[in-house]
Amino acid sequence: MKNILLMEGSSQPARERAAHLGQETTAEVYVRALLAENPNLQIDVLYGADEGAQPPRSPENYAGFVISGSALHAYDNEPDVTRQIDWVRRVADAGLPILGSCWGLQICAVAGGGAVERNDAHAEMGFARKIVPTTDGLGHPLLTDRASAFDAPCIHYDHVSRLPEGSVLLASNSRCPVQAAVIPLGRSIAWGVQYHPEFDLPHLAEIYEGYGDDMVGGQFFDTRNMLDSHIADLRIAAEAAVDAPVVWRLGIDTDILDGSIRRTELRNWLRHLGE
């Protein structure tokens, strides 16, 4: 049995808001996805944004460290952010393998001396389309079994604008140049993706419901009715066959609908721990 330390990226107010809405936290979503790949994992959750937070064991007693998503911004000099960056550095100095999604990739980049910026031209809402592995990505175990171009659940306004020295870019698309990368940190190497292999369609629907007002009237949805229709489609598609009209309407395929394909990077990282 492998012990995994998972850092919940959300602040306490964000977790309380999710509980009030009856929604999963980002850590709960990640735990569910990891256990779908290996039900024998022992996963401890670290609330890294919280003052004084500590894991049940010291970092050296874990096989790996996972960082969930978050609505925080890696460039903000606030305790909820800087505490988590400090945890990344501490875990890296302990030599733990690291996997980060979205926020996880971004704070690994900052921890290593890179940069993260907000740029709405690079924002992706719901799905990252046509992600293409680089030459380095084609040969890297993080993307083993990925197609030559694929879609993935994704939601972000911020993006990695500069990778740290020594990093290797593994995948890009036309919307966001850094979709996957490996980043050297301390005695470790972080594997990170800008998308969310741990997300499923019901969780995307929850995010739209929770933060929908921020998405209306901008580049994503002209009206609340359009957003509500999209949320309904996501929930229907979660139970639909791949040839269903709603699936066509959303422009998605098995790389989104099939959990085994969607979680490819999680499975590959867990295999990496077993080597």
3-class DSSP state of 208: helix
State the Cα–Cα distance between residues 89 and 83, nearest whole angstrom: 10
pLDDT digits (tens, 9 = 90+) for 77-127: 999 999 999 999 999 999 999 999 999 999 999 999 999 999 888 889 999
Q: Is 196 among the catalytic positions? A: yes
Write the DSSP string, 232-268. Answer: HHHHHHTTS-TTSHHHHHHT--HHHH-HHHHTHHHHH
Q: What is the pLDDT of residue 214?
A: 77
Question: In the predicted model, is pLDDT for residue 275 greater than 60?
Answer: no
Distances (CA, A) of 235 to 185, 206, 242, 248, 270: 39, 10, 14, 14, 29
* Active-site choice (8, 102, 124, 176): 102
Q: What is the pLDDT of residue 172?
A: 98
* Active-site choice (8, 37, 124, 198): 198
Q: What is the pLDDT of residue 215?
A: 80
pLDDT digits (tens, 9 = 90+) for 200-221: 999 999 988 887 777 887 778 8
- Name the maximum alpha-carbon separation found in the chain: 50
Q: What is the pLDDT of residue 178?
A: 97
Q: Is-contact 61 22, C-beta < 8 A?
A: no
Sign of CA dihedral 232, 130, 195, 124: negative
State the Cα–Cα distance between residues 43 and 37, nearest whole angstrom: 13
> pLDDT band for position 263 (50/70/90)?
very high
Q: Is 156 among the catalytic positions? A: no
What b/e sequence results for 166-184 when a residue is b if at least 16 CB atoms lie within 10 Å of its CB, and e otherwise? ebebbbbbebbebbbbbbb
Q: Is-contact 263 198, C-beta < 8 A?
A: yes
Q: What is the pLDDT of residue 156?
A: 92
Strand intervals (E) in 77-137: 98-101, 115-118, 124-133
- Written as one letter, the residue type at 263 is R
Average pLDDT over residues 30-35: 97
| Domains recognised in the chain with CATH numbers | 3-198+259-274 (3.40.50.880), 201-255 (no CATH)
Report the mean per-residue pLDDT for the chain.
94
Q: Is-contact 103 64, C-beta < 8 A?
A: no
Q: State the DSSP H helix or E strand holding residue 206, giving kind and residue range, or none if neither.
A: helix 201-215
* Active-site choice (122, 156, 159, 196): 196
Q: What is the pLDDT of residue 77?
A: 96
Q: Is-contact 180 144, C-beta < 8 A?
A: no
